Amino acid sequence: MARIKPQALLQQSKKKKGPARISVITIILYSLIVVVTVFFLYATYRHWSQRSRTQIEYRQSVFKGDTDNSFVDLKKSDLPGYAILDTAKGSITVELFKDNFPEVVDQFLDLCHKGHFNGMLFRHVIKHYVIQAGDSDKLEAAEDWTLKGKHYSQLDTSLKHEAFMLGTSKKKHDNGAFELFITTAPIPDLNEKLIVFGKVVKGEDIVQEIEEVDTDEHYRPKSSIAIRSVTLKQSV
């Protein structure tokens, strides 16, 4: 077997190619690809994490709102919806408009709990118009009704203008001066004078019996008629 001379081996080794070098441009290109990929992954992560956080906050706010509304509805449902006025003539049952005038109803209920209406007299009885119970001897809200005739019954009436509506004067009720008015006929300008917060649902005959009592020239009953007590109920 022929021997290869050392010089020939040296020449062959020189002829062999060395490892290929990576150019600078290639390195920069790969680096850019890596940076863009990382940035894309990071942006995607931020997007989905922010979206999840927003959804959680929205669900919490909705849950809180539903809870608050449920609490308010529950509170309203717990309030008595009816008041029974026990008078010397008999009992008058009134449905309270809790949703329409909650502040007035709350004040009325609070005064009932304090016994404010116990022993309160019907101060004025105006036939075909209204009976008024209160601590004041003044007509005030009902004063000019006494100057008008029975033509009221021929005028337009709406729900709150019907007979047997319960209301109170629109003046500020200082020192608990909360008057009660029960209409005995349709009154078109009722809302201009009173805040209507209830309606008689039982005992209309008792209201009419009180309306028929004898009065003096100032529409004051000649014989005392009082509200002896008020009983609150959620249903009747």
DSSP per-residue codes, 109-120? HHHHHTTTTTTE
CA distance 12 to 107: 112
CB atoms within 10 A of CB 42: 10
pTM of the model: 0.62
Q: What is the pLDDT of residue 188?
A: 75
User: CB–CB of 234/80 below 8 Å?
Assistant: yes
CA 128-131-137 angle, to 5 degrees, is 130
Residues of the chain with pLDDT under 50: 58, 61-74, 148-160
CATH 2.40.100.10 corresponds to the domain 82-233? yes
Q: What is the pLDDT of residue 28?
A: 85
Chain centroid, CA 196 distance in Å = 18
Q: What is the pLDDT of residue 67?
A: 42
Q: What is the pLDDT of residue 122?
A: 95
**DSSP assignments along 174-204, one per residue:** GGG---EEEESS--TTHHHHEEEEEEEEE-H
CA distance 89 to 203: 10
Q: What is the pLDDT of residue 64?
A: 47
Chain centroid, CA 214 distance in Å = 44
Nearest to 186 by CA among 164, 167, 163: 163
Nearest to 207 by CA among 174, 229, 186, 181: 181
